Amino acid sequence: MAVHLHEEDLPEGVLAPGPVAVDTETMGLVTRRDRLCLVQIADGRGDEHLVRFRSGTPYDAPNLKAVLADPARIKLYHFARFDLAAIEYYLGVTAAPVFCTKIASKLIRTYTDRHGLKDLVRELLGKEISKQQQSSDWGAPVLSEAQQDYAASDVRHLHAMHDILIGRLEREGRAQIAQACFDFLPVRARLDIAGWAELDIFSHE
């Protein structure tokens, strides 16, 4: 098991077929303002790949874009809405089909309001992950070991949680509504980019 750091694109053929876990790190939470710095991707076999984009990058990453846009590969995220917007805005691809562990958690873990990645990993897998590097300078010319390990840990557990969450969604009869939510997420992300991030167009107001 290793963390691999790549500059500007994913090497060809490093991922096994099947679902991939995806996460992004950006300069901040405002997609149009805060550039995409890092895309983390894992095939669930134990290695994580980090693709770093420098300041001023043209985001010309054909191998990464091909994987993200591949309709045959499910993309597993935790809070897909944010990552889909960053990927769509900066890389110009819709990284679907989607499975979002946060949406799945909200649909089945109705006994709690704790749906953060740390909480979910702890309850479902009995493991502890650190969120210490969450707010750090992802645009720095050199990423520290701590940053790289944090970034990798955000995609490390999504496959295992996907398996458990699918079973739980089926058990509670919520697999269909979950799938419909996942299918809508690329549109939700586009609404965020287009200016409807805070305004709920489904509300009466």
Which residue in the set 43, 88, 154, 192 belongs to the binding site for Mn ion (CB under 5 A)? 154
Own/partner contacts of 94-98, CB < 8 Å, gap of 24 or more, are 94/69, 94/186, 95/22, 95/68, 95/69, 95/186, 96/71, 96/183, 96/185, 96/186, 97/71, 97/73, 97/182, 97/183, 98/74, 98/182, 98/183, 98/185, 98/186
Q: Which stretch binds Mn ion (CB under 5 A): 84-92, 96-104, 147-155, 166-174?
A: 147-155
Which lies closer to Mn ion via its Cβ, residue 26 or residue 94? 26
Q: Nearest distance from residue 52's CB to Mn ion, in Å?
A: 14
CB of 29 to Mn ion, least distance (A): 12
Cα Dmax for the chain? 50
Identity of the residue, 154 or 192, whose beta carbon is nearer to Mn ion in the bound complex:
154
Q: What are phi and psi of 131, to 5 degrees?
A: -110, 20
Q: Which position's Cβ is nearest Mn ion?
A: 154
**Shortest reach from residue 164's CB to Mn ion, in Å:** 20
| Axis crossing angle, helix 101-108 with helix 175-194, rounded to the nearest 10 | 130
Compare residues 23 and 192 and give the one whose CB is closer to Mn ion.
23
For Mn ion, which stretch binds (CB under 5 A), given 17-25, 54-62, 124-132, 177-185?
17-25
Beta strand ranges found along 139-185 (DSSP E): none
Nearer to Mn ion, 43 or 154 (CB): 154
Contacting Mn ion (CB under 5 A), which of 23, 43, 83, 192?
Answer: 23
| Residue 62 CB neighbours (<10 A) | 10
**83 forms part of the interface with Mn ion (CB under 5 A):** no
Site of interaction with Mn ion (CB under 5 A): 23, 154
